[in-house]
Structure formats: structure tokens, C-alpha cells
Homo-oligomer: A and B are copies of this chain.
Amino acid sequence: MTPLVESFGIAVRQSREAQGWSQEALAGHSNLNRSYVGEIERGKAIASLTTVEKLAGALGVAPSTLVIRGEAVNEQNLARFIKLTSIAC
């Protein structure tokens, strides 16, 4: 899996939790299978553009917004990694 797939999953989980929703609730609102939503959140399944659209629609944001949130998580992780590396070296 690419870093974006994992970061996207974290962004979906964060966005879902911000709504106070369970995975089941998000799955229901986005018309997706609950276990599939879980796999996406754990970075174990790669969402298609249609799935991104469904999740974003359920969460009340544009598909691009959800991708931007994934990219932001990715950048935060990268910044943390660089900081840890600079401490270790």
C-alpha cells in the first residue's frame, strides 16, 4: 500500500469520529459494507474514486476534501518521521 492509501484511511477514521459515528453508521450513510469501511480505515483496501465519492458524500464534504485530509495526514507523518530521525542522528 502507498502512504496515501494508509493516510487516507486515517483521514476517513478521523472524519467519521468527528461526526461521532461508528463504522456501521458511516457504512450505512455511504452505502458501503462495514467491513470494507474498516479495511479502508486500516489502509488494507484501496478506495476507488467512487468509494471516495460515497464516503465524502456521507461525511458532507467534497471528494477532494477527503483526499486533501489524507494528504495532510501523510505530511504530518512525514514531518514526525523527519523530526524523530533528526533526534536519533
Chain A residues in the interface with B (C-beta under 8 A): 1-2, 4-5, 8, 46-50, 52-53, 62-64, 67-68, 71
State the number of copies, please. 2
Could you tell me the dominant secondary structure of chain A's interface residues? helix
Give CA–CA (A82, B50) in the complex, Å. Answer: 24
* A47 and B46 contacting across the interface, CB-CB below 8 Å: no
Minimum distance in angstroms from A4 CB to a CB of chain B: 5
Give CA–CA (A50, B43) in the complex, Å. Answer: 12
* B71 and A8 contacting across the interface, CB-CB below 8 Å: no
Nearest 9 CB-CB pairings of A with B:
A64-B67, A64-B68, A46-B48, A48-B48, A64-B64, A47-B49, A67-B67, A4-B53, A46-B50
